[in-house]
Amino acid sequence: MSPQPDSPIRHTQPPALDRTDTHQTTPTPNTAGLTPVDPLTRRKVVAATFIGNFVEWFDYAVYGYLAGSIAIAFFPESDPTTQLLGAWAVFAVSFLVRPLGGFFWGWLGDRWGRKTALSWSILVMSVATFCIGLLPTYPTAGILAPLMLLLVRVVQGFSAAGEYAGASAFLVEYAPKGQRGRYAAVVPASTSAGLLFGLLFVTGLTAALGSDAVNEWAWRIPFLLAAPLGLIGHYIRTRLEDTPQFTALQQQDDVITAPWRDLFVQHWRLLLRALGAALLNAVAFYILLSYMPNYLESQLDLSVTQANTMTATSLVTYIGFILITGSLSDRVGRRKVLLSASVAMFVLAVPAFMLLKHGFLLGVLVLVIMGGTLALNDGVLPSFLSEQFPTRIRYTGFAVSFNSANAFFGGTAAFVATLLISVTGSALAPGWMLMAAASIAFVAVLLSRETAQEELR
């Protein structure tokens, strides 16, 4: 990426607009004397952020792709739907701690630095994921097995709360003006790359050993990989310097001690709009990229290989378009791209689920289109959310809004979709969920200010 030269910036007290919540006027940039960043440093930051985020989300994603095996291993024998609901319920409950994790990691990142928060979050995630691979199953430990699984998943959810927000803020604060969308799009690209690797790993594992072996013992293998991968990610992140914006705050002794207080008192409107804008990502990401293989198997009777192949094509499309949409938003603005994504998802969601049942090849095409539509939203969301909040509370504002949306709407998406299909008998229920999320996100973005060409506050 070709950076633009940093301009020397003079310290001023944060302008009044930074401490209020209005978007009627263009804010005066909070331009404290930032340390110039050379191109090599920026490339290292991008590479390190990609690798660390990739590792953490591989750890987090394999649970979703192994939900069927998890259901068999950790829940008593009953009908498949009840077992699966148990596995998805654990998945959903682990998300409920993400707002709490958002407060903690946001405070750590805004108080002690983005680097510190990111280095510890990947370590906690890796330890928790590794522990899943060691847990006893229901035939061995009875009711303790799902309870231990829930405990470890809660730790995973707590850790994941610091990852997406921290990595986004880190890249946005390192990026040159005019390229923040392009840089921040590395976060969802690395997230989806971790998902894709997890999906391919599980697919290869099933193809090599067979479904019976995976259900009996081989489901443990990807979880056990978390230990070496996590140590690598932790080491890489500890080698980075903190962002110029946060370093400037430290030098000016202007680091905030209680960012959540400022967030809720001075910026609560920003918080609500950010939460609404994050809703489409929360629902669509987990419906289309995590829950989809299970949906294709359980509702359309496709084989594991077919279901995973179709989802992989959606992921590849998503990754391919992410960086393009991030760069596009640098040119035309964040709001235009996000609003277009909401409209497209609203229009396409239900027809897409109607067409999935009409053959493998048509299903692949449908998921390619849906992956591209989601990328239109997710490639812009990290820069959009990061730019909405002032530097002093950026990590906390992003983490609380993003993780609240994921906790109440993203983590529950697979469970709600499975339950709605079971209750209504309609396989189109996930499509209606996507339409509702797109509607709310559209309104939230419409009420937000454009920030693509502004200095970071």
Q: Where are the domains of the chain?
A: 38-446
Checking if the pLDDT of 7 tops 70, the result is: no
Can you tell me the mean pLDDT for 182-189? Answer: 94
Is the predicted pLDDT of residue 384 greater than 60, yes or no?
Answer: yes
Report the pLDDT value the prediction gives residue 195, as an integer from 0 to 100. Answer: 82
Q: What is the pTM of this model?
A: 0.82
Look over the chain and give the mean of its residue pLDDT values, rounded to a whole number.
87
Q: HEC string of the chain?
A: CCCCCCCCCCCCCCCHHHHCCCCCCCCCCCCCCCCCCCHHHHHHHHHHHHHHHHHHHHHHHHHHHCHHHHHHHHCCCCCHHHHHHHHHHHHHHHHHHHHHHHHHHHHHHHHHCHHHHHHHHHHHHHHHHHHHCCCCCHHHHCCHHHHHHHHHHHHHHHHHCCHHHHHHHHHHHHCCCCCHHHHHCHHHHHHHHHHHHHHHHHHHHHHHHCHHHHHHHHCHHHHHCHHHHHHHHHHHHHCCCCCHHHHHHHHCCCCCCCHHHHHHHHCHHHHHHHHHHCHHHHHHHHHHHHHHHHHHHHHHCCCHHHHHHHHHHHHHHHHHHHHHHHHHHHHHCHHHHHHHHHHHHHHHHHHHHHHCCCCHHHHHHHHHHHHHHHHHHHCCHHHHHHHHCCHHHHHHHHHHHHHHHHHHHHCCHHHHHHHHHHHHCCCCHHHHHHHHHHHHHHHHHHCCCCCCCCCCC
pLDDT at position 302 over 50: yes
pLDDT band at 453 (very low <50, low <70, confident <90, very high): confident
Encode pLDDT of 323-351 as tens digits: 899 999 999 999 999 999 999 999 999 99
Q: What is the pLDDT of residue 11?
A: 39
The per-residue pLDDT for range 63-81, each reduced to its tens digit, is 888 888 999 999 988 777 7
pLDDT of 441 higher than 50 = yes
242-254, pLDDT tens digit by residue?
988 898 888 888 8
Residue 5 confidence (pLDDT) above 70: no
Q: What's the rounded mean pLDDT across residues 173-194?
A: 91
Residue 30, pLDDT score: 44
Q: Say if residue 26's pLDDT is above 90.
A: no
Least confident of 265-274, 297-306, 365-374: 297-306
* pLDDT for residue 32 is more than 60: no
pLDDT bucket at 10, cuts 50 / 70 / 90:
very low
pLDDT of 249 reads 87
CATH 3.30.565.10 fits 38-446, yes or no: no
**Which pLDDT value is given to residue 14?**
39
Asked whether the predicted pLDDT for residue 23 surpasses 80, the reply is: no
